Amino acid sequence: MTSLLTDKVIISGIGQSDIGRRLGRDALELTADACVAAVEDAGLTLADIDGLTTYPGASQAGPGFSGASLRDIHDALGIKPNWVAGGVESPGQLGAVVDAMLAVAGGMADHVLCWRSIWEGTAQGAGRRQGYGARGGRPTGMMAWQLPFGATAANLAAMQVRARMIRYGLTREQLASIAIVERANARLNPSAIYSDPLDLESYLSARMVSDPLCMYDCDIACDGATAFVISRVEHAAALDHPSVTVEALDCAHHDRFMWEGGEDITRISSRWSTIWERTDYTVADVDYASLYDGFSVFVLCWLEDFGFCKVGESGEFIADPARISLRGDLPINTAGGQLSGGRLHGFGHLHEACLQVRGEAGYRQVDDVVLAAVGVGAANSGTTAMLLRPER
Amino acid sequence: MALSGRGIVETWTVNQHQFFPGFTPPYVIAFVTPVEDDRVRVLTNLVNVEPDDVTAGMPVRVTFQRCVDGEDEVFIPLFEPDH
């Protein structure tokens, strides 16, 4: 059994711009760098691209949240696409990649360029992130029920940590493994934002952002863009590197689009993943996992959602950081994740999984990757899970 | 459904970072479940309580804070211990 997409589409190209805390470079330029790199990696020219998808598109969210819209890249690169889709209303950030895959599988395009560009490092550095009252008037929508209470994403993630402590006995010592392992991985990634060593003692004595969530549990705003090319499977023969096969996809958006909207706030989604019903592989076959880490606790949710461990046991599962380390049973987020690598907003997770599947991750390469799992999305933003593997 | 204003604390956090002008840390942010319907979750602040004294399942009751911004007047539902 394989996904309907498995025999139809591949990830043919990947590309990334410079990544930095505050590069001070134009966001469109960074986005174009990533897009051109992905197209060249796919062995194509811009004239071959006949589809464009992106997340979040021309968003109204905070400064720098969207580095370049679909129309910006359409104009800047002179693409003449038949199929376009860009927007924030999606099953998590990777919904834009799924859109690209569906467009190719459905015959709407042969080569779709898909990107996520973010510029929060520079945009927020120019002035503090806008908060309550900064734009005047009553906050609306989701913010109407957060800002009057001084609540941000970090506070909501902190309450998820606390709920896991209450229900499952999670400890800070266990949670620390995520930040510590990702920092060790980041030291092997020249593009990572943070590469100073981090140990348990430093973690436990770190500044609290929102007790029990400390600064090392929070990802870091950055500037950077990541791009992919999704092609028809026939293009695999033209590549000068291994192609990435899409073994299975699983998307969900069952919960209300609010941080507190999940039926069970200890989970990533109120619907358990159905991805293992869509493949003959099993969870035991996964050699590498990219798990979304906007906050460290989301990794715990994804470990349970994929079934790497039983519900409520993710804390014990990672208690010994060796298990999820580069040479452990289940290496995760080998580029450093978003905690140490920067908030590339899920696209960095997919990029690293592609490198691992292609055997191109350099010093942080996991041996003989047969199956890679990618889980992106958090706190009821909708989720997308992928299983990727080398072409057989 | 009419609500009595009573609930229990599902989970909470003690915010330690100055995110917004006018919100000076530390302050407690919590999810409170109304006693009438445990499917509902209210994001709120806990007041009139020391952060270290908050516990899971703690009974709380609503107290409204009047906020005025120009001609706009709102009453924000906060919660305090229900002894």
What is the complex's ipTM, to 2 decimals?
A: 0.95
For residue range A271-326, list pLDDT tens digits in order: 899 999 999 999 999 999 999 999 999 999 999 999 999 999 999 999 999 999 99
Report the residue of chain B nearest A214, measured CA to CA.
B16
Q: Residue A64 carries which DSSP code?
A: T
Q: Which of B10, B13, B76 sits opposite A210 (nearest CB)?
A: B13
The pLDDT, as a whole number, for residue A59 is 74
**Cα–Cα dist B41/B55, whole Å:** 17
Over 80: is that where the pLDDT of A255 sits? yes
Q: Over range A9-25, report the average pLDDT.
A: 95
> β-pairing, A111-119 with A51-54?
parallel
The pLDDT, as a whole number, for residue B32 is 97
- Distances in whole angstroms, Cα of residue A56 to Cα of each of A216, A218, A372, A373: 26, 21, 25, 23
Q: Which of B13, B22, B45 sits opposite A158 (nearest CB)?
A: B13
B22 against A207, higher pLDDT: A207
Q: Which residues of A touch B17 (CB under 8 A)?
A: 154, 208-210
CB A283 within 8 A of CB A276: yes
CA atoms within 13 A on the CB side of A134: 13
**Cα–Cα dist A350/A244, whole Å:** 11
Which tokens go with A134? 């900064």
Question: How does residue A133 score in pLDDT terms, banded at 50, 70 and 90?
Answer: very low
Q: Which of B11, B23, B39 sits opposite A162 (nearest CB)?
A: B11
Over 90: is that where the pLDDT of A206 sits? yes
Q: Which of A151, A166, A260 sits opposite B56 (nearest CB)?
A: A166
Average the pLDDT over each of A86-95, A126-135, A193-202, A257-266 and give the range with the smallest value.
Answer: A126-135
Inter-chain touch A137–B14, beta carbons under 8 Å: no
Report the residue of chain A nearest B45, measured CA to CA.
A149
Residues of chain A with a CB closer than 8 angstroms to some CB in chain B: 131-133, 137-138, 145-152, 154-155, 158-163, 166, 207-213, 259-260, 263, 265
**Cα–Cα dist A288/A226, whole Å:** 20
At residue A273, what are phi and psi to the nearest 5 degrees? -55, 140
**Cα–Cα dist A286/A369, whole Å:** 8
Over 90: is that where the pLDDT of A385 sits? yes
In three-state secondary structure terms, A183 is helix
Neighbours of A137 (CB within 10 A): 9
Neighbours of A259 (CB within 10 A): 23
Instruction: Extract the residue ranges of chain B whose pLDDT is less than 50.
Output: none
**Cα–Cα dist A342/A128, whole Å:** 18
The pLDDT, as a whole number, for residue A136 is 59
> β-pairing, B6-15 with A208-211?
antiparallel
Over 80: is that where the pLDDT of A392 sits? no
- The continuous run of DSSP H or E covering B7 comes out as strand B6-15
Inter-chain touch B17–A150, beta carbons under 8 Å: no
Express the helix, strand and coil content of chain A in percent, nearest 5 each: 35, 20, 45
Q: Residue B30: which of B47, B16, B17 has the closest Cα?
A: B47
Residue-by-residue DSSP string for A370-391 = S-EEEEE--TTS-EEEEEEEE-
Over 60: is that where the pLDDT of A390 sits? yes
Identity of residue B33:
T
Over 60: is that where the pLDDT of A129 sits? no
Q: Which residues of A touch B44 (CB under 8 A)?
A: 149
> β-pairing, A51-54 with A83-86?
parallel
**Number of inter-chain CB pairs under 8 A, A vs B:** 90
**Distance (Å) from the alpha carbon of B40 to chain A's nearest alpha carbon:** 9
Q: Which residues of A touch B27 (CB under 8 A)?
A: 150
Q: Would you call A381 exposed, middle or buried from its count of C-beta atoms within 10 A (0-12, 13-18, 19+)?
A: buried
**Cα–Cα dist A313/A44, whole Å:** 46
Place of tokens 């348990």: A200
Q: Which of B11, B29, B51 sits opposite A265 (nearest CB)?
A: B11
Q: Residue B49: which of B18, B5, B80 has the closest Cα?
A: B80
CA atoms within 13 A on the CB side of B12: 26
Inter-chain touch A133–B76, beta carbons under 8 Å: no
For residue range A139-194, list pLDDT tens digits in order: 777 778 888 899 999 999 999 999 999 999 999 999 999 999 999 999 999 999 99
Q: Over range A39-53, report the average pLDDT.
A: 98
**B10 in contact with A, Cβ within 8 Å:** yes
The pLDDT, as a whole number, for residue A3 is 74
**Distance (Å) from the alpha carbon of A379 to chain B's nearest alpha carbon:** 14
**B69 in contact with A, Cβ within 8 Å:** yes
Q: Residue A20 carries which DSSP code?
A: B
Over 70: is that where the pLDDT of A132 sits? no
**Cα–Cα dist A25/A100, whole Å:** 28
Residue A197, preceding peptide bond in cis (omega within 30° of 0): no
The pLDDT, as a whole number, for residue A126 is 61
**B75 in contact with A, Cβ within 8 Å:** no
**Distance (Å) from the alpha carbon of A322 to chain B's nearest alpha carbon:** 29
**Cα–Cα dist B67/A121, whole Å:** 33
Identity of residue A140:
T
For residue range A102-126, list pLDDT tens digits in order: 999 999 999 999 999 999 888 877 6
- The continuous run of DSSP H or E covering A249 comes out as strand A244-252
**Cα–Cα dist A227/A84, whole Å:** 15
The pLDDT, as a whole number, for residue A353 is 98
Q: Which residues of B touch A295 (CB under 8 A)?
A: none
Which tokens go with A184? 């060790």
The pLDDT, as a whole number, for residue A128 is 45
Name, in order, each residue with C-beta under 8 angstroms of A42's C-beta and a sequence gap of 6 or more. A12, A13, A111, A229, A231, A235, A239
For residue range A331-373, list pLDDT tens digits in order: 999 999 999 999 999 999 999 999 999 999 999 999 999 999 9
**Cα–Cα dist A46/A357, whole Å:** 25
**B43 in contact with A, Cβ within 8 Å:** yes
**Cα–Cα dist A358/A352, whole Å:** 10
The pLDDT, as a whole number, for residue B46 is 98
The greatest distance separating any two alpha carbons of chain B, rounded to the nearest whole angstrom, comes to 38
Question: How does residue A258 score in pLDDT terms, banded at 50, 70 and 90?
Answer: confident
pTM: 0.96
In the beta sheet, which residues pair with residue B72? B69
Q: Which of B17, B22, B43 sits opposite A209 (nearest CB)?
A: B17
Mutation to test the A interface, candidates B20, B33, B79, most A Cβ within 10 Å: B20
CB A73 within 8 A of CB A115: yes
Identity of residue B73:
E
The pLDDT, as a whole number, for residue B83 is 84
The pLDDT, as a whole number, for residue A60 is 66
**Cα–Cα dist A12/A235, whole Å:** 8
